Amino acid sequence: MGHCLSGALRFTAIFSPLRCPSKPSTFLTSIRAFGTSRRFSIMSAASLPASVEALSLQSTAQKSQFANCFPTLNPMDIYRQHIAEELAKAADIDAQKIYPRIAWTSTLDKGDLSLPVCGRRRNSWLLFRLSKKTPWSLLRSLPPSSPPPTLFTPPTPLGPHIQFFCKPKPLTDNVLGRILKEKSAYGTNGNQGQKDPSDPSKGQKKIIIEFSSPNIAKPFHAGHLRSTIIGGFLANIYTVMGWDVIKMNYLGDWGKQYGLLANGFKYFGNEEALVKDPINHLFDVYVKVNRQVSEQEGPIKELKEQIKAKKEKSEDVAELETELAKLVDVSEDEKARRYFKSMEDGDPEALALWRKFRDLSIEKYKQTYARLNIDFDVYSGESQIKSESMTDAYKLMEQAGVSEKSEGAVIVDFTKHGAKKLGKAIIVRKDGTPLYLTRDIGAITERDDEYHFDKMIYVVAAQQDLHLAQLFKVTELMGHKDLASRCQHINFGMVRGMSTRKGTVKFLDDILRDVGDKMHEVMKKNEVKYSQVEDPEKTADILGITSVMVQDMTGKRVNGYDFNLDAMTSFEGDTGPYLQYAHARLCSMARKSELDVNELVNANFDLLTEQHAVDLVRLLAQWPDVLLQTAKTLEPITVLSYLFKMTHMLSSSYDVLKVIGSEPDVKQARMALYASARQVLHNGMRVLGLSPVERCIGRQERDE
């Protein structure tokens, strides 16, 4: 094996050149000769949020001998392919075993690509296993290399890995040329979402993402906020990976509380207020009628305690029970139960009022979601689940021996089915009414029948881990193992201390209004810059929303965080406003340069020789891999960390790579670099669901 590796490492001298002309347009033309490349807009409806419209997608008909290798879509795939093919020739190793082990690096000091070559454990790095010689000693023993390859400098060892550093010129020509031509499509890969990569005619894989799911007439709490932000991000990442994405909002829109709300509306409702602001008005009604319920519960509870005490003494309780029955009969809680029963029985008048509440609430939600750059394809809910679906599920569970009767109720004892940690779950109450789990079982089968999805994701807080695990397990036990395997729960931690400055209820609009007001206060402190912003209130609103979303995405999903209004609205540190500032500064530079952005692709990239420029190009080359990695982790922080790394690099380069005042050719080349960085930053922010601004006011704002 040592001899084999020694021969393999000689590829430092024998790499065959890959044609990379200095002119990016020529290079892209030659690359596309491998196959056709197409780009199209995923969404085009005028009513959709701007960020949804801006999500573009490119795919290719190019064929490669390596799985998931698309040189026309990902510049680093050219380099991976070249390493695998040439190393296979030199070392007499199957290139198919080499290619998937060539990894992108997390930091530029570790190279642009890395290949593990040895390990102690049996399953570590099957490509090469060395017992005596390290990669370093092998490299030192090689004879002097002949002229270096076209694409790489000679490889270097780092522990058990070999590092590959791309040569600056061909990489710069490639990457900047792609970005300036492909724009919003750069980094996307529609081939990832194909049902069969070998036969694109079979179409895209379909995914349902269920997220947000607030309860009508109740506060839009922290869990709903996180679900909304994370779900919107997941929809975007699957979109740019070529999946057919269905965004579903599963509303809490059914149950006895709607009987309570309907009756409460008779006492406290106002049609004008309902139409003007349905969410807040229905919540006010709900609070007031619940106050009545609480007042009535006191005497009822007291009577129940008296009856219990008398029964323990074997005393007659008939009179008290009659009195209790009268109190219960006229209570709002009992009236709500009867009203909801009429809804379930299909009473037209009851359903008409419920439908009005639901429809008006959805219209209001749509306005709020639009501020977060989110739209839904389907507004579903508990009310939409057919009773036949639940009945069929009962029968199937009974026939499969999954369910059993227990004290008048129907349950599933998971401990009897090899899942002790899942405990027991009630499917049907003693009174015959279904529970949330029952409706979810009906929903999962209905969705499969209607959409024939390849994958379905539930974006729900970690507190519901048990519920979702029970849902997937019972689906499997019912005989739908394949269906259960296509479902995934994406969980998240909770937000601590989220409230508005006024101490009011935690509706999303209230929170967004608070952060928007805070950002407006910051902007007003710079009077000169404030006067240059065309619509400062709208900009403040966008900055505020960015603040909330970026704070939510900082850290892994499963971790909770403290809602900190002052910290999230700061222009210092890795915050939403800082990210917006970085984008706005690049836009400002483009305006002041007075260069035609459409001509930047013709710039002389050979002039970008400074290490700051080289490293920035290397980072921009990683963007397609960042998206692919994010599609695996499903963590917003994967994209966010990359964007902040880029903004830090940009910040340190401005004094070295000056645009204003430079020689014309140098000015154009540097502006091409910064325009490419702005495009990738813009693309990344769009994937996160943010709306990049072109003008921003912060303490760091200054002239270029």
**Could you report the per-residue pLDDT of 73-85, keeping only the tens digit for each?**
999 999 999 888 8
**Residues that are catalytic:** 218, 221, 224
Region class of 583: left (phi > 0), else alpha (psi between -120 and 50), else beta: alpha
In terms of average pLDDT, the best of 89-98, 478-487, 560-569 is 478-487
Which amino acid, 385?
Answer: I
Q: 373: closest CA among 548, 129, 158, 618?
A: 548
In the block, tokens 């080289």 appear at 614
Whole-model pTM: value is 0.85
Which whole number is the average pLDDT over 92-100?
83
Give the separation between CA 689 and CA 239, rounded to whole angstroms. Answer: 12
Which whole number is the average pLDDT over 46-51?
38
Which amino acid, 618?
Answer: R
Q: 110: closest CA among 166, 64, 57, 71?
A: 166
Lowest mean pLDDT: which of 144-153, 447-456, 485-494, 527-536? 144-153
Which whole number is the average pLDDT over 492-516?
74
Q: Which long-range contacts (CB under 8 A, 24 or more apart) does 81-90 make?
A: 82/15, 82/18, 82/151, 83/11, 83/113, 83/115, 83/164, 86/11, 86/14, 86/15, 86/16, 87/8, 87/11, 89/11, 89/14, 90/7, 90/8, 90/9, 90/10, 90/11, 90/14
Per-residue model confidence (pLDDT) at position 25: 31
Better pLDDT: 136 or 60:
60
Per-residue model confidence (pLDDT) at position 220: 75
Lowest mean pLDDT: which of 23-27, 218-222, 251-255, 434-438? 23-27
Per-residue model confidence (pLDDT) at position 46: 35
pLDDT surpasses 50 at 141: no
Per-residue model confidence (pLDDT) at position 457: 98
Q: Please name the residues in contact with 157: beta carbons below 8 A apart, sequence gap of 6 or more.
A: 134, 135, 136, 139, 163
Would you state the structure tokens that stand for residue 545, as one six-digit string?
A: 């929303």
Per-residue model confidence (pLDDT) at position 131: 30
Which whole number is the average pLDDT over 392-405?
89
Lowest mean pLDDT: which of 206-215, 310-319, 600-609? 310-319
Taking the CA of residue 395 as centre, how many other CA atoms within 13 Å lie in the half-sphere pointing to its CB?
Answer: 6
Per-residue model confidence (pLDDT) at position 529: 78
Angle at the Cα of 482 from the Cα atoms of 477 and 484, rounded to 5 degrees = 60
Average pLDDT score over the chain: 83
pLDDT surpasses 70 at 530: yes
Rounded to whole angstroms, what are the CA distances from 428 to 146, 190, 386, 414?
77, 44, 15, 16
pLDDT surpasses 50 at 692: yes
pLDDT surpasses 50 at 14: no
CA dihedral over 481, 484, 486, 491, signed as positive or negative: negative
Lowest mean pLDDT: which of 87-91, 367-371, 497-501? 497-501
